[in-house]
């Protein structure tokens, strides 16, 4: 028996904190609504327990949609939040008591309260007074769209109804404004507006319409007529972009008047520039002038692109310079020129003298020079000793390639020129002419690199007897 009493005391002591009270209050924010509105209350929960707790708010009335979150409230503190109640469709107008249940998720303790919500009868404007506003609108009879256009609106609220969300719409066809304003009960208000229609606004008689909108319904509307004055003006904007030997000019001509206008552009070029200029679109040529013409509506533009392209000329000049530089850089240091002349005929054979000009065209020494030439099979080398003539160091005959001749010299001085002369005897009489193959020279440059140069081929023609 003593043990059972001890267990009971322990359970009572354990449950005592969970049975502690908490406080909840509801403060009305908006409880008079229309059928599509939402009532709202400020909720404050005081957790007097010695532990943190979480509270849930719900309603058992299926005609209401309750919007609130589960709220965690720390121990010995107060926390507030917003509670929203929205009626479902078809609920009757008048006062309603909505049962609200607040439950502690920690202890299971709950409270029930009734929140009063009044559903008002639906009207187009949701109030007791039908809105009545007098509106006067003024605008100049003639308007120059290059200047600001003033519009004056005077409002007078004829009923003691507050209209905090009143929309005013001003539509002048070429200018527009949509603005929210407020109008207190029986208030008189003057509104001044300045509009920039833009110079592209077309001329003629226009209509200004001013509307007052409340709850998506028009409660006042005034129209006024005014005239937009006509004017003509063309603006030209030129931009140039320069690249490598090319200039691109963009001419944008805009009709900034408020009527249709035929815009013209003319350009004159010197004759030497015409080869390098291109246009888009293509112009009309007359009396040496290039011209463009197009009828433009207000605000429309005509774009002319003029391209001066000197790239081809620059590339030709550059290619010439590079070719000249390359020629002097990469040309062979030794120049070989071969020529041949027919001397005489003897016993049906023709004697031909061959000269090979060898020239060092640099300012450097050229070493180990070997000059080689070849005689076709139709002829043979005719050895003749001549004073001052360099004799070949090697003569090689071949039944297929003919006769090969070779001359050697240790060095060629800068700009030195030598002439190698030898004779060949044709085995048969030449009829028409004879072509001799080109010769070649092998040598070492100053840096020790071996190079080869070639001569031209030589032709000898049969001499005609007088």
Q: What would the two tokens of residue 450 be?
A: 């071996």
CATH architecture classification, 133-228: Sandwich (2.60)
**From residue 96, how far is each of 84, 88, 268 by CA, in Å?**
15, 13, 89
Q: Does the CA dihedral 243-244-245-246 come out positive or negative? A: negative
Half-sphere exposure of 417 (CA within 13 A, CB side): 7
Nearest to 73 by CA among 43, 39, 96: 43
**From residue 432, how far is each of 345, 429, 464 by CA, in Å?**
14, 10, 10
pLDDT given for residue 67 in this prediction: 83
CATH architecture classification, 19-119: Sandwich (2.60)
Nearest to 419 by CA among 395, 439, 444: 439
pLDDT given for residue 141 in this prediction: 94
Question: Quick check: do 19-119 and 133-228 share a fold?
Answer: yes
Residue 9: phi and psi, rounded to 5, are -65, -40
Pairing assessment for the beta strands 277-280 and 440-444 based on DSSP bridges:
unpaired
Could you say which residues of the chain have pLDDT below 50? 1-20, 127, 466
pLDDT given for residue 128 in this prediction: 55
Distance (Å, whole) CA 452 – CA 459: 22
Distance (Å, whole) CA 438 – CA 421: 15
Residue 248, exposed/middle/buried by CB under 10 A (0-12, 13-18, 19+)?
A: middle
pLDDT given for residue 407 in this prediction: 92
pLDDT given for residue 138 in this prediction: 96
Using one digit for the tens of pLDDT, what is the confidence trace for 146-192? 899 999 999 999 988 889 999 999 999 989 999 999 999 999 999 99
Using one digit for the tens of pLDDT, what is the confidence trace for 316-364? 888 999 888 888 777 888 899 999 998 877 666 788 899 999 999 988 8
pLDDT given for residue 20 in this prediction: 43
2.60.40, 1.20.120, 2.60.120, 1.10.357: which CATH number matches 234-311?
Answer: 2.60.40
Domain boundary assignment for the chain:
19-119, 133-228, 234-311, 334-461
pTM of structure: 0.39
Distance (Å, whole) CA 250 – CA 263: 16
**What CA dihedral angle connects 429, 430, 432 and 435, to 10 degrees?**
170
Pairing assessment for the beta strands 32-33 and 110-119 based on DSSP bridges:
parallel
**Strand order from edge to edge, sheet including 64-67:** 22-30, 39-47, 77-87, 64-67
Domain 334-461 has CATH 3.40.190.150: no
Residue 203 three-state SS: coil
């Amino acid at each position: 028996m003593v043990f059972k009493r001890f267990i009971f005391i322990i359970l009572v002591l354990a449950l005592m904190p969970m049975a502690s009270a908490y406080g909840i209050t509801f403060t009305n924010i908006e409880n008079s609504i229309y059928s599509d509105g939402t009532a709202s209350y400020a909720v404050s929960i005081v957790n007097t327990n010695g532990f943190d707790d979480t509270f849930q708010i719900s309603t058992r009335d299926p005609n209401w949609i309750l919007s609130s979150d589960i709220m965690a409230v720390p121990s010995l503190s107060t926390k507030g939040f917003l509670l929203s109640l929205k009626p479902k469709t078809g609920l009757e107008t008048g006062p309603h008591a909505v049962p609200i249940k607040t439950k502690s998720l920690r202890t299971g303790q709950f409270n029930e309260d009734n929140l009063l919500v009044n559903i008002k009868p639906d009207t187009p404007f949701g109030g007791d007074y039908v809105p009545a506003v007098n509106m006067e609108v003024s605008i100049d009879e003639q308007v120059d769209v290059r200047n600001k256009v003033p519009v004056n609106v005077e409002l007078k609220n004829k009923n003691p109804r507050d209209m905090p969300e009143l929309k005013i719409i001003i539509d002048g066809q070429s200018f527009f404004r949509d603005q929210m304003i407020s109008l207190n009960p029986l208030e008189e208000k003057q509104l001044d507006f300045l509009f920039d229609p833009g110079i592209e606004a077309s001329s003629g008689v226009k209509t200004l319409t001013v509307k007052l909108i409340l709850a998506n319904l028009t409660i006042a509307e005034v129209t006024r007529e005014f005239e937009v004055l006509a004017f003509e003006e063309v603006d030209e904007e030129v931009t140039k972009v320069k690249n490598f030997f090319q200039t691109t000019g963009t001419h944008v001509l805009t009709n900034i008047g408020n009527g249709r206008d035929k815009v013209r552009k003319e350009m004159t070029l010197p004759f030497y520039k015409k080869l390098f200029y291109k246009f888009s679109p293509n112009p009309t040529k007359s009396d040496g002038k290039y011209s463009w013409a197009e009828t433009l509506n207000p605000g429309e533009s005509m774009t002319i692109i003029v391209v001066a392209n000197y790239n081809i000329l620059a590339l030709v000049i550059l290619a010439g310079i590079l070719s000249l530089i390359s020629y002097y850089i990469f040309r062979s240091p030794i120049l070989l020129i071969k020529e041949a002349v027919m001397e005489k005929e003897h016993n049906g054979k023709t004697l031909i003298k061959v000269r090979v000009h060898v020239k060092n065209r640099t300012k450097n020494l050229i070493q180990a020079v070997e000059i080689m030439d070849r005689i076709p099979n139709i002829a043979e080398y005719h050895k003749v000793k001549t004073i001052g003539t360099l004799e070949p160091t090697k003569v090689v005959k071949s039944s297929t390639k003919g006769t090969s001749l070779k001359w050697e010299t240790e060095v060629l001085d800068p700009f030195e020129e030598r002439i190698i002369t030898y004779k060949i005897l044709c085995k048969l009489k030449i009829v028409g002419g004879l072509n001799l193959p080109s010769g070649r020279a092998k040598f070492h440059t100053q840096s020790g690199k071996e190079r080869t140069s070639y001569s031209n081929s030589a032709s000898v023609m049969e001499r005609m007897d007088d």
